[in-house]
A and B are shown apart, each in its own frame.
Chain A
């Protein structure tokens, strides 16, 4: 791997949790701080870098994002912005959550930001019961406790839909 740092066209192989391998150009992989640190510290002596928490479908999306951002020059910010909003457009919640976890694990700040924002936008105007369903949250308050929380934070529920 040491030689790879000098060579920009070097490719590396990432392996998803379900065993699929992805051949990635190094400058694309460097969008991930995790991979960057691994390459810098030269600790990935193996030919294949396993990503044990990320499945192939999610990894493919992540790498698509990284490639776009690695290849675009800085002057094309507008183009990147429209790519970003298009990228997440029709994604379901499950995929979005996987993406957030992957971006967090691989430390890709831009992707983490837009995915978190997308989730936030989705839950913003939803009634609490729907938000619980989205996050698979089980309401473990007793009715009395829930009423107490509402009363404590009454100022936050004023006029809440």
Chain B
């Protein structure tokens, strides 16, 4: 301001989105007033908590032509007097007006005012708002009698008086409950936009009658009754409205939220003899049939405007005779609605697409240019990036992909991201990946799904381990094992699903610490999660219902030395696809519904019978058990003790090429409630060989299984058929 030396400042615009010192702001304004400012545009989008914010000189400035004042909170200026002899445009916007008399003061002090826009609720003590302005041509009133903003006893009417003989344009968006409008002298009105609503669905018939009567000379009327999308406006609020004649009206537009009450509409049309254009902004829905029926009703005269003047492009008349005219929407109904599909719904649809495709929709039309930036789910997959040419080996792919993700994140406007998925087959730069994760954490991400391979170890941002919004976390090193450094304190209070694939831990305690920080964890999957120096996988999770452990012991440790300890009392589903380790220590899983045990071959020396006995007794309450071929073999050869499976009703066994089947009689003996037994694949080969023991075995369970209902034997090879033996 000091550098700007001009003696006259024509326009001064100040927009503050932070709180500044009042004396500073006042100083700036006083300075511009001294320089004979003509246009002042002050926008304080943050609430300023001091009252003497504006200099008194502002209200007596002789040069001012345009004054725009916008405050986020209360308009707390209280001028002693107003004298603005040149002002033609005045905008006052705020949440509430504190000075009850402010509008009157301004109107009195602005003799040549042409445009007045007021937005904000006028004080609770005011019962009459007087808008008397001889030269006013445009008037915009928003929410000035809004009930909610100022407490106002119900049943006390607020009167809004509009006496503006020169008015051409009028816009009112207001809460009409307990309000009445006294509108006079509007002989020249060209256009009126009226949107009335009632906070509590009270009857606004009277207010509407008054207002429509006052503006009956209008040429173009836009009418709407609710600004809230979610509420169904009740047409009863205007049931008793007395409609005036609109002798000059040529265009009527019914707004998006005008849910047509047909009787009301017909009366409106009857009272508008010169109507030429009728627009349904929100479409007609399918209700036009009702309208047609009403029109066909012989007791009712067809509104004369439909017969003589109406030539609107949004509706058209078909068929001949005067008494039977049918109204149809010009476009197909759904077509009309799709063009009105709200942006939020389009964003939701785009959120279901890989982000590359969502961004590409920006080319559809100008409206779509920015739509993708509101998507709530970001999904990057470098395989998609360069389709259809599959150029995984392209050395620039990594660079193109990285800049793509960076650019999307910088343009994306959403404050919240539901889901962030990153799948990258090429090696990523750690600092980029971490930057993206940190960005997502700032946007309250709920689901993180990362399949990447970074060189060296991934140093995840520490905030990841204390993220309050995270519900799903999936980390997958697609090629190798990445070591995760778990901080001393983990707090993921909402994490329900955790998948760790190829994520190693530095020590036993890391796993325990991680899981301890996830008190509501329901699903855990650990695949290739252990390094040589981990001795115990200790899964302590009180509400865990689903657990998958695979390849944790098999690949990276000598099974004999490593233990898997499960303390998961709420578990319903358990899958173990791992080495038959010595060290299974399983607490009682009394709610278990299904268990899949699939021991992996490899280290024959480590088939510890004690651990397996322990595992089997831990899952002995299961209802449905699935045992793989090799698991059967391990169990039968390792002298493990079989527990009684009291609840088991379903047993599915894998192919048994070797000695696994020897376990079967004992297994069946220990399963008193078995209802269904399913074999996979291989048995039929043995049938052809007709081995004696095979037949003995079949004989055994057919003779002894008293409640066995069904035996399925699947033949998988060329002859794909099933033998069912029903008892």
- Kindly identify, within residues 75 to 107 of chain A, every residue whose CB is under 8 Å from any CB belonging to chain B: 94, 97-98, 100-101, 104
Q: When A17-B286, A52-B232, A138-B365 are in contact, do A159 and B387 touch as well, CB less than 8 Å? A: yes
- Chain A residues with CB under 8 Å of B339's CB are 136-137
A18 near B287 with CB under 8 A, answer yes
Q: Check B443 for interface membership: any CB of A closer than 8 A.
A: no
Q: Mark B326-367, 1 if CB is under 8 A from A, else 0.
A: 000000101101110110010011111110110111111111
Q: Is there contact, CB below 8 Å, between A156 and B337?
A: no
Q: Which of A137, A145, A153, A156 is the most central at the interface, judged by chain B CB atoms within 10 Å of its CB?
A: A156
C-alpha spacing A154/B488, complex, angstroms: 44
Instruction: Give bound CA distance, A153 to B368, whole Å.
Output: 13
Find out whether the CB atom of A141 lies under 8 angstroms from the CB atom of B366.
yes
Chain A residues with CB under 8 A of B400 = 155, 158
Contact A104 B345 (CB under 8 A): yes
- Chain A CB within 8 A of B599 CB: no
Decide if A68 is an interface residue (CB 8 Å cutoff). no
Give the interface residue-count category, chain B.
35 or more
Closest to A94 in B: B334
Instruction: Compute how far the CA of A12 lies from the CA of B47 in the bound complex, rounded to whole angstroms.
Output: 47
Question: Bound state CA distance, A50 and B290, in angstroms?
Answer: 15
In the docked arrangement, what's the CA distance between A116 and B351, Å?
9
The residue from B230, B348, B359 contacting A116, defined by CB atoms under 8 A apart? B348
How far does the alpha carbon of A132 sit from the alpha carbon of B368 in the complex, in Å? 10
| Complex Cα–Cα for A53 and B337 (A) | 10
| Residues of chain B contacted by A116 (CB below 8 angstroms) | 345, 348-349, 351-352
For residue B285, CB closer than 8 A to chain A, the reply is yes
B682 CB to nearest A CB, Å = 27
- B214, chain A: closest CB distance, angstroms: 29
Query: Of residues 215 to 274 in B, which have CB atoms within 8 Å of A's CB atoms?
Result: 230, 232, 259
On whether the beta carbons of B364 and A120 are closer than 8 Å, the reply is no
Contact yes or no, A135 B286, CB < 8 A = no
Q: How far is the CB of B654 from chain A (nearest CB, A)?
A: 22
Residues of B within 8 A of A146 (CB): 363
- A141 near B349 with CB under 8 A, answer no
Interface residues of B in 354-396 (CB under 8 A from A): 354, 356-357, 359-369, 385-389
Q: Is A28 close to B, CB under 8 A?
A: no
By a CB distance below 8 angstroms, the chain A residues around B230 are: 34
* Given A104-B345, A112-B348, A159:B389 Cβ within 8 A: yes
Q: Which of B338, B352, B386 contacts A117 (CB 8 A)?
A: B352
Contacts A153-B359, A156-B360; A97 near B337 (Cβ below 8 A): yes
Interface of chain A residues 138 through 161 with chain B (CB within 8 A): 138-141, 145-146, 149-150, 153, 155-161
Is the CB–CB distance between B369 and A149 below 8 Å?
yes
B564 to chain A, nearest CB (A): 27
Q: B403 on the interface (CB 8 Å rule)?
A: yes
A21 within 8 A of B: no
Q: Which of B289, B337, B353, B403 contacts A120 (CB 8 A)?
A: B353
In the complex, which residues of chain B have a beta carbon less than 8 angstroms from the beta carbon of A124? 353-354, 357
Interface pair B287/A159, CB less than 8 Å apart: no
Taking CB atoms, residues of chain B closer than 8 Å to A55 are 285-286
**B352–A120 touching, CB < 8 Å:** yes
Residue B700 CB within 8 A of the other chain: no
B365 with A17: CB separation less than 8 A: no
A156 and B356 contacting across the interface, CB-CB below 8 Å: yes
Are B341 and A160 touching (Cβ within 8 A)? no
Are A131 and B389 in contact, with the CB atoms below 8 A? no
Say whether A64 faces chain B, with CB atoms less than 8 Å apart.
no
Verify A50–B232 contact, CB threshold 8 A.
yes
For B354, the chain A residues whose CB sits under 8 A away are 124
- Known A-B contacts A55-B285, A128-B363; A158 and B386 likewise in contact (beta carbons under 8 Å): yes
- Is A63 positioned at the interface, with any CB of B under 8 Å from its CB? no
Given that A112-B348, A159-B385 are contacting pairs, would A141 and B365 also be in contact in the complex, using a CB cutoff of 8 Å? yes
Q: Which A residues are in CB contact (< 8 Å) with B365?
A: 132, 137-141
What residues on A are CB-neighbors of B479 within 8 Å? Answer: none
Decide yes or no whether B695 CB sits under 8 A from chain A: no
Contacts from B to A (Cβ < 8 Å): 230, 232, 259, 285-287, 289-290, 332, 334-335, 337-339, 341-342, 345, 348-354, 356-357, 359-369, 385-389, 400, 403-404, 407
Q: Can you add 20 more A-B contacts, CB < 8 Å, to A116-B351, A120-B351, A139-B364?
A: A17-B285, A18-B286, A19-B289, A19-B290, A52-B285, A52-B287, A53-B285, A101-B341, A116-B348, A119-B352, A120-B350, A131-B364, A149-B369, A150-B363, A153-B362, A155-B400, A155-B404, A156-B362, A159-B389, A160-B387
Sorted from nearest, which 5 A-B pairs have the closest CB atoms? A120-B352, A156-B359, A94-B334, A18-B286, A159-B386
Q: Which residues of A contact B (CB under 8 A)?
A: 17-19, 34, 50-53, 55, 94, 97-98, 100-101, 104, 112, 116-117, 119-121, 123-124, 128, 131-132, 135-141, 145-146, 149-150, 153, 155-161
**Could you jot down 23 A-B contacts, CB within 8 Å?**
A19-B289, A51-B232, A52-B285, A94-B332, A100-B349, A101-B337, A104-B345, A116-B348, A119-B352, A120-B350, A120-B352, A123-B349, A124-B354, A136-B338, A137-B364, A140-B367, A141-B363, A146-B363, A153-B362, A155-B400, A159-B385, A160-B360, A161-B387
